[in-house]
Amino acid sequence: MDRVIAAVKLFGRHLHKYIALIALCYVPWLFVIKYFAVTGALSAEADDAIVGVLGVFFMPLCNGATVWLNHRHSEGQPASIKESIAISASVWKELITAYISVGLIILGWIAVALIPGGLIMLAFGVKTTTVLIPFAVAAILYVTTRYVFLDFYVVLQKLPGWQARRQCVELSEGRMLPLLFAYLFLAAPLFFSEFAFEYFGMQLEQVTGVPKQIFEGLLAVLSTLFYVIPQIYFYLVYRDIFREPV
């Protein structure tokens, strides 16, 4: 709990920098796309597809910069947004390849996790596939928790993606349960809330009359902003592990 409090305090103390960084990385292109979606120049499918592709492109840049800010802030050292983006850009290729590889690992784990769900469906004659959702969610949570230290190895230790993944697995051994609980409490609600952005956007559109695409963009930016708190928390865990006496 002490680390959670420390993470929240650091987030609040440097909130202006996190807002500026995330706005710089996401707001310009995201709201241009949402504008074209509102005007009908883009279909909902094209909107989602373009946002997804550009999100993959900009996510490593933003995450890497956030890691650098977290590191400097946690050590009580100055850090500028320009510096953090420059550091992140230098390892962008390693980060994006690491993310893609972890995404493929997640798909593999989901495929394996669905096997018992499928057997349950066959055994009990269940027709609805919703019974498979808990198995897929469990696989996603397990893999994402296993690699919560990935960004730190790439950004702070300059390790290539494959080596960073291996180090993450080694570092998480014997710590998976507390890491999983922390991820469930801090990060998972933000991660899975993304699936409800369209629903909330529709509800807000009915109340305010503002197009739902605008609210979807705002919710995406806010979710990214608040995801900084678990990022800070896991950095503090990472830092403290390396400070432990051998």
SS3 track for 86-137: HHHHHCHHHHHHHHHHHHHHHHHHHHHHHHHHHHHHHHHCCCCHHHHHHHHH
What is the pLDDT at residue 244?
Answer: 62
Q: CB burial class (10 A; 0-12, 13-18, 19+) of residue 186?
A: buried
What is the pLDDT at residue 95?
Answer: 94
Task: Return per-residue pLDDT of the chain as tens, 246 residues.
Answer: 788 999 999 999 999 999 999 999 998 888 888 888 888 777 878 888 888 888 888 999 999 999 999 999 988 888 899 999 999 999 999 999 999 999 999 999 999 988 888 888 888 777 777 878 889 989 999 999 999 999 999 999 999 988 999 999 999 888 999 999 999 888 888 877 877 787 887 887 888 877 887 888 888 888 889 999 999 999 999 998 887 654
43: left (phi over 0), alpha (psi -120 to 50) or beta: beta
Nearest to 236 by CA among 174, 149, 106: 149
What is d(CA 32, CA 10) in angstroms, rounded to the nearest whole number?
A: 31
Nearest to 230 by CA among 180, 158, 165: 180
Nearest to 113 by CA among 141, 154, 94, 93: 141
Q: Give me the half-sphere count of Cα atoms (radius 13 Å) on the Cβ side of residue 80.
A: 3
**Alpha-helical regions (H) of the chain:** 2-13, 15-39, 44-74, 81-90, 92-124, 133-146, 150-157, 161-172, 176-186, 188-193, 197-208, 212-226, 228-243
Query: Residue 62 corresponds to which amino acid?
Result: C
What is the pLDDT at residue 245?
Answer: 53
What is d(CA 214, CA 47) in angstroms, rounded to the nearest whole number?
A: 12
Query: Residue 129 corresponds to which amino acid?
Result: T
What is the pLDDT at residue 213?
Answer: 79
Rg of the chain over Cα atoms, rounded to whole angstroms, equals 19
* CA 70 to centroid of chain Cα atoms: 15
Residues making up the chain, counted from first to last: 246
What is the pLDDT at residue 246?
Answer: 46
pTM, two decimals, is 0.89
What is the pLDDT at residue 153?
Answer: 95
What is the pLDDT at residue 53?
Answer: 86
